Amino acid sequence: MIRVLLALLLLALPVRAEEIVSGVSQSGVSITTNFDGTAIMVYGAAIRDRPAPDWPLLQVIITIEGPSAPLVVRKKERVAGIWLNRGAVQIASAPSFYAVATTGDIGEILSPAEDAKYHVTIPQTIEAVGSSADQGKYIAALQRIRAESGSYRLAQDSVLLLRQSLFRTDITLPANLVEGPYKVRIFLTRGGEVVDMQESQINVAKAGLERALYNLAMQSPLIYGVLSLLMAMVAGWGASELFKRLRA
């Protein structure tokens, strides 16, 4: 009787027409002394329980989001030859890294309502404190600065989609990564609406000498400071001896 009830319950559950099966090329990234960035390949397929509709076409959006943190965006102006802070906006949360890769124009394959619901585009990931008339300008400035440094990226038409099913893309992670979990999200959309979404995680952590120095600085700051001072003294003495030998 219980088996029959379970079978009836499963039949009553809604079945999604399209679902994501995906993977990433690596589940972890180690930051070492010679780390200069890495590329992550995200791949997968849309599986269906019925033939795909001819229209609207399937689209894919892939995002990678780094750890978020609060910050203050300040505006500087030059007054009498001196640069002064003339305004500031508090940001409650902004990702340290955010990349968006798509199969097409983001404005055409994702509706504003779905963007607001799932926080897909870069502006939707930044949360300011309060509201002001100039708030948008500060947020735009933050996006521009982090885009110039490679921390915020929008790569439209960079996701390869084959036969309206198989997809893949490569997203480069820069050298200045912040430690922590990086969230990978994949969205399937049709006509601007999200039909399925899948989320996974990549762990980024310091390794080797970088990890040892970081742990020492966090756990024993006094010892770390003394060792840093000794290393500076040894380096200064070594440079002095080298110059003496060169002059001799």
What pLDDT score was predicted for residue 49?
A: 83
What pLDDT score was predicted for residue 67?
A: 96
Is the pLDDT score of 108 beyond 90? yes
The values of phi and psi at residue 56, to 5°, are -75, 160
pLDDT tens per residue across span 69-103: 999 998 877 776 777 767 888 999 999 999 999 99
Q: How many CB atoms lie within 10 A of CB 190?
A: 18
pLDDT tens per residue across span 148-194: 999 999 999 999 999 999 999 999 999 999 999 999 999 999 999 99
Whole-number Å distance between alpha carbons of 61 and 109: 9
Indicate the helix (H) or strand (E) that contains 205. Answer: strand 193-206
Whole-number Å distance between alpha carbons of 125 and 163: 31
Assess contact for 169 and 158: CB atoms under 8 A. Answer: yes
Distances (CA, A) of 173 to 15, 71, 168, 170, 210: 36, 22, 16, 10, 18
Whole-number Å distance between alpha carbons of 184 and 98: 10
What pLDDT score was predicted for residue 224?
A: 58
Angle between helices 209-219 and 221-247 (to 10 degrees): 120
- Residue spans of alpha helices (H) in the chain: 2-12, 106-109, 112-118, 122-125, 135-148, 209-219, 221-247
